[in-house]
Chains A and B, each alone.
Chain A
Amino acid sequence: DAGITQSPRHKVTETGTPVTLRCHQTENHRYMYWYRQDPGHGLRLIHYSYGVKDTDKGEVSDGYSVSRSKTEDFLLTLESATSSQTSVYFCATRGQETQYFGPGTRLLVL
């Protein structure tokens, strides 16, 4: 698997607070993705990036923003966390036409 790390790995926060999740990769992959995983829904794409400062929305982007100022880092921000954003968040990168996933961040919004 590609060298992908995510931080934090676990987070508990309160409704209305902003939260930033970080994805870091060491493979110099151009494409990066943020997904959320919820029971019965599989993985759903939140945002993706096709280069530094180049990002676009996925299927479930409402309430989320992203930034990519360096190739290796892709940040996901929940602007004002809601209970519906309680989920497991996975970052992925794309190399050789294949996506590789990070270990995930488990987020609980109370």
Chain B
Amino acid sequence: AQSVSQHNHHVILSEAASLELGCNYSYGGTVNLFWYVQYPGQHLQLLLKYFSGDPLVKGIKGFEAEFIKSKFSFNLRKPSVQWSDTAEYFCAVPKKRGSTLGRLYFGRGTQLTVWP
């Protein structure tokens, strides 16, 4: 079964700083990979996803992520964060490779705080 590690539990940045949040998963090969964002008091929203093709994926609000197969990683990046990016970010992968049930395994989340 799959597992997901988000090594940064809490990241604090000033506005305009660059962001990179780490996500590592446990099995290799091609997988579906997701980043979700949860703004304070809200539900999870899809930020971006990777299924196949170009390993550099662009999402909403200027976020992007790069799938690096050799490192089992799918790190989230943004060149210049804003105060409104303050939120919790979750990486997710399918529970079982090739499963059709759509179950996802979520990382424990990274809380991003951006100071104006």
- Which A residues lie at the B interface, using CB under 8 A? 1, 31, 33, 40-45, 48, 50, 56, 58, 90, 92, 94, 97-104
Contacts and interface: CB of A to CB of B under 8 A. Distances in A.
A45 B103 contact: yes
Interface stretch (B11-19, B43-51, B61-69, B70-78): B43-51
A110 B58 CA distance: 44
B48 to A, nearest CB: 11
A76 B39 CA distance: 25
Interface of B: 32, 34, 36, 42-46, 49, 51, 90, 92, 101-104, 106-109
Nearest to B49: A98
Contact of B34 (A33, A48, A90, A98): A98
Given A42-B107, A42-B109, A99-B104, 5 more contacts: A1-B46, A33-B102, A48-B101, A97-B102, A101-B44
Contact of B103 (A41, A42, A48): A48
Contacts, number: 48
A3 to B, nearest CB: 13
A76 B109 CA distance: 24
Nearest to B95: A45
Contacts of B106: 42-44
- Please report whether the interface of chain A is mostly helix, strand, loop or mixed according to DSSP: strand
B45 to A, nearest CB: 7
Given A99-B102, A101-B44, A102-B43, A42 B32 contact: no
Given A42-B106, A42-B109, A43-B106, A97 B51 contact: yes
A94 B49 CA distance: 14
3 A-B pairs closest in CB distance = A42-B108, A94-B102, A101-B44
